Amino acid sequence: MRAFLTGVAATALIATVATAAGVPASVHNAKQTQKAVATALASPARADQTTDDARRKAAEVLAFSGVGPGDEVLDFLPGSGYWTRIFTGVVGTSGHVYSVWPAAMAKYAGKGATALEDRHLSNVTVKVLGSGIVAASEPVDLVWSVQNYHDLANNGAGEAGIDQMNAEAFKALKPGGIYLVIDHADAAGTGLTGTDTKHRIDPAVVKTEVAKAGFQFVGESDVLRNPADDHSAKVFDPAIRGKTDQFVFKFRKPR
């Protein structure tokens, strides 16, 4: 069932999550994560997705995140549900996945939200919010943002839109929880100037803004970096689409 949260209800839910977020996040060893990820990626239920796994470096990115069985995951702006459908297998029956579209982008939920609902995944809740950016029914272990962080600055939102996302992600996470951000890199020093025109963002801005919200920078993975991308083209340009230089940043909410 798709959950539409409006006004006071959405605000109350976010506040409830923040209040209840005293339980520390799960910690999995590397073998646990690798085994769970490998099993999820090999599931016949997602055979239609597997051709995209290599390009997205799915196994490597998920291993870097540290996600594992029993985790509560918030998949922000999940699009077609690619990552949600992997997470459902990784976290298993003891975990849960919240696929969340923020209020400002509810109009983009459409087919993606419906397609996920139609799969009747028992450990997935699809949420199209009436207000706010991120919300889950329980404190989560992982907030996952892929190729959409830059969008938070668009439509006049600017830095305030990014700040709101980071603050709400911080509240939604358990102590020790992980905030993983993947996005298309822009050239150093460009700030937010390319978020709308090119759908790119300066990686340094992301580090600065997320740290401002109280997160600790854990590290980064280079698996999606592409030095051949000079950052000048819009990410939808056929010459670079699917091959953009992307950063993978891992942040932690202090325990």
Contact present, 209 and 162 (Cβ < 8 Å): yes
- Percent above pLDDT 70 for the chain: 90
Give me the residues paired with residue 127 across strands: 3, 100
Cβ neighbours of residue 96 under 8 Å, at least 6 residues apart? Answer: 72, 73, 123, 124, 125, 138
Query: How big, in percent rounded to 5, are the helix, strand and coil portions of the chain?
Result: 40, 20, 40
Question: pLDDT, tens digit, for every residue of 210-230?
Answer: 999 999 999 999 999 999 999
pLDDT, one tens digit per residue, over 133-176 is 777 778 999 999 999 889 887 766 777 788 888 999 999 999 99
* Mean local confidence (pLDDT), 192-198: 90
Q: What percent of the chain has pLDDT over 90?
A: 67
**How far is 254 from 5, CA to CA, in rounded Å?**
28
Query: Yes or no: is domain 2-252 CATH 3.65.10.10?
Result: no
- Where are the domains positioned within the chain? 2-252
In the chain, the amino acid numbered 107 is K
* Predicted local confidence at residue 5, as pLDDT: 38
Distance CA 17, CA 14 (A): 5
For the sheet containing 140-146, what is the strand order?
Answer: 2-5, 124-129, 96-101, 72-76, 140-146, 173-184, 246-252, 216-221
Residue 167 CA from chain centroid, whole number: 14
Q: What is the pTM of this model?
A: 0.88
SS3 134: coil
* pLDDT tens digits along 40-75: 999 999 999 999 999 999 999 999 999 999 999 999
Residues 6+ apart with CB under 8 A from 50: 41
pLDDT at site 181: 98
Q: How far apart are CA 53 and CA 41, in angstroms?
A: 8
**Partner residues linked to 143 by β-bridges:** 74, 179
Q: Which two tokens stand for residue 34?
A: 């690798």
| pLDDT value for 18 | 42
**Residue 138 near residue 19, CB atoms below 8 Å:** no
- N- to C-terminal Cα separation, the chain: 33
Closest CA to 91 of 135, 149, 43, 128: 43
Q: Are 75 and 100 in contact (CB under 8 A)?
A: yes
Question: Quick one: which of 148, 139, 140 has its CA closest to 65?
Answer: 140
pLDDT band at 89 (very low <50, low <70, confident <90, very high): very high
Return mean pLDDT, the chain. 88
Mean pLDDT, range 203-212, rounded to an integer: 96
**pLDDT tens-digit series, residues 108-125:** 888 889 999 999 999 999
Each residue of 1-18: pLDDT tens digit? 344 333 333 433 444 444
Whether 126 contacts 2, CB under 8 Å: yes
Residue 205 has pLDDT above 80, yes or no: yes
- Compute the average pLDDT of residues 183-209: 94
Q: How confident is the model at residue 240 (pLDDT cuts 50, 70, 90)?
A: very high
* 20-29, 114-123, 204-213: range with lowest mean pLDDT: 20-29
